[in-house]
Structure 1
């Protein structure tokens, strides 16, 4: 009976060691930019704060399509400090859009998915 309890305790502690507690607090995980003009790329900045006790390092940022370029804070983000992920959407096609950006860090085992959305409108030239 004691062997079963010890085995269960060891299993529980082992599983707990794989659990990762996020140390990133995002200002917003979804940003709606509203209407934007066609043929003018739109940069959307996602801000976050390191709420943990160790440095956060962004290891990868990937847009959901070739129409979304990305940039991000490349240096380690110290505890209590902030960083950014910038998604620049190429507003070539008219209409509503919803795109995602996946952010991989040393703080979470699973990438954080950020969403940007809006509507691309035709530019009316008056003359």
Structure 2
């Protein structure tokens, strides 16, 4: 309780001095030492980063997968196999799903020529009914990035 009494005047002072004199609320400038979160990278920046390594080629086991009928609320996943068909190590720098219902996982280590890696897409069907089609963009050191992989599901009531 003593600490609260000591802190209240400080909070009141900060509240009263939060805006500079001729400043409207929507023009508030905060003087903080907090580290800002980096801005989300644009697609162009992600492609540039992915292609910063020597280019190679890849083959997917499939670019589209059909889950078929899925019960609403069920969590399903599919693994897309990736083969490095080029002469340089394949580096998957990012897999960006189209929405928050899909969580990606992928091989983070360089995939050597002739070797295989994987991309897993995990889908949460909780917020969907009926036919659903989703996609994810795969950023890698290949000429035509991003590569789009998709899946579909028929979400059935419980």
Superposition TM-score, scaled by structure 1 size: 0.77
Structure 1 residue 65 and structure 2 residue 99: aligned? yes
Structure 1 match to 2:141: 106
- Distance across 2 between alignment mates of 1:34 and 1:25: 24
State the Cα deviation string for residues 68-91 of structure 1 (Å, max 9, x = none). 111100110011011111111111
Counterpart of 1:96? 131
Q: Which has the higher contact order (CA 8 A, sep 6+)?
A: 1
- Tell me if structure 1 keeps the 8 A contact 2:58–2:86: yes
Shift of 1:107: 2.0
1:48 corresponding residue in structure 2: 82
Question: Which structure has more strand as a fraction of its residues?
Answer: 1
Q: Which has the larger radius of gyration?
A: 2
2:153 is the counterpart of 1:118: yes
Deviation of the 1:48 alpha carbon = 1.3
* Inter-partner Cα distance in structure 1 for 2:66 and 2:106: 19
Structure 2: which 5+ residue stretches go unaligned?
1-53
Q: What CA distance in whole angstroms lies between the structure 2 residues aligned with 1:81 and 1:43?
A: 23
Q: CA offsets, 1:93-126, max 9 Å, x none? A: 2211000010000123420000100111122xxx
Tell me, in whole angstroms, the C-alpha distance in 2 between the residues paired with 1:52 and 1:106: 11
Quote how far apart the aligned CAs of 1:45 are. 1.1
- RMSD of Structure 2 on Structure 1 (CA): 1.6
The 5-angstrom pairing of residues 79-90 of structure 1 reads: 79-90=113-124
Give the secondary-structure state (helix, strand or coil) at the position aligned to 2:70: strand
| Contiguous gaps of at least 5 residues in structure 1 | 1-19
